[in-house]
Chain A
Amino acid sequence: MIPGLSGDFVTQVFLLVAAGFMLLAVAMFYRAIVGPTTQDRVLAVNVLGTNTVIVLALLAVGLGEQSLVDIALVYALLNFLMAVAISKFTVERGDVL
């Protein structure tokens, strides 16, 4: 478990906040589905990804599973690559960055 943490309170808060982030992520699906532009969808998925990263970090504390932070790190990298790659792909042979 996490050393020096005062009781279950913080753990509970973290789990609740993680649930809140999940709800926001679900709301973000609306934009990902409706669009209308490809960029809107990429944007929504990017925000979803950032939410996932935060949820992973929160769960790392909430569940006392510190290795989740490593997963979050990798996920953040992939999320960024995804956004840039799709942006680049949609404009084709343009240099997006």
Chain B
Amino acid sequence: MIETVRTGGIVLLVLAGLFFTLVSTTGVLRLPDVYSRAHTASQADTLGAGLTLAGVALALGWGTTTVKTVLLLVFVFATNPTAAHAISRAAHEEGIEPWTADDDRTDEELYEAARARVPDGGQSGGNTTTADEPGEQEETG
């Protein structure tokens, strides 16, 4: 009896994980710009990874490997949002505008627009960085 419940729980967790990863993949493929994609990539994926790894941990039972799986889970939870933040911040520093509902440009055009604004053709975000930081500092004061 308890084994059946456990098996059911494992299968459910793993399938739910697969579902959320499917959602995340769909999001990364369908959403309009890099920022929206960063949302779904980090988040649905975190839950997808979390549920699947929970399923794996449950399947493994008590043991060193399970502890490692839990560590892996914690690690994915801590690093995925950080990576997403790093990526979206890099996009912001390159001057890529977020897409809005009333904007009819595609992601490609937004990218071209960002590249066109930087004098050296978008090869370095350095100019953007140093230029807009004093501005932001004013706001925090």
Contacting residues, chain A, for B116 (C-beta < 8 A): none
A interface footprint on B33-53 (CB within 8 Å = 1, 0 otherwise): 010011001000100110011
CB within 8 Å for A58 and B94 given contacts A31-B28, A36-B107, A46-B41: no
Partner of B34, one of A6, A27, A37, A96: A37
Contacting residues, chain A, for B129 (C-beta < 8 A): 91, 93-94
Tell me the interface secondary structure of chain B in the complex: helix
Instruction: Judge if A24 is at the interface, Cβ distance under 8 Å.
Output: yes
A interface footprint on B71-84 (CB within 8 Å = 1, 0 otherwise): 11001100110111
Tell me the interface secondary structure of chain A in the complex: helix
- Look across to chain B and name the residue whose beta carbon is closest to the beta carbon of A84: B86
| CB < 8 Å A-B pair total | 183
Contacting residues, chain B, for A43 (C-beta < 8 A): 28, 34, 37-38, 41, 84, 87
- Look across to chain B and name the residue whose beta carbon is closest to the beta carbon of A4: B61
Interchain nearest-CB distance for B31 vs A (Å)? 10
Given contacts A37-B114, A50-B80, 12 further A-B contacts (CB under 8 A): A2-B61, A27-B29, A28-B28, A35-B111, A46-B83, A57-B52, A69-B72, A70-B68, A72-B72, A80-B82, A96-B90, A97-B82
Q: Which residues of B contact A (CB under 8 A)?
A: 3-4, 6-7, 10-11, 14-15, 17-18, 21-22, 24-25, 28-29, 34, 37-38, 41, 45, 48-49, 52-53, 56, 59-61, 63, 65, 68-69, 71-72, 75-76, 79-80, 82-91, 93-94, 96, 107-108, 111, 114, 124-126, 129
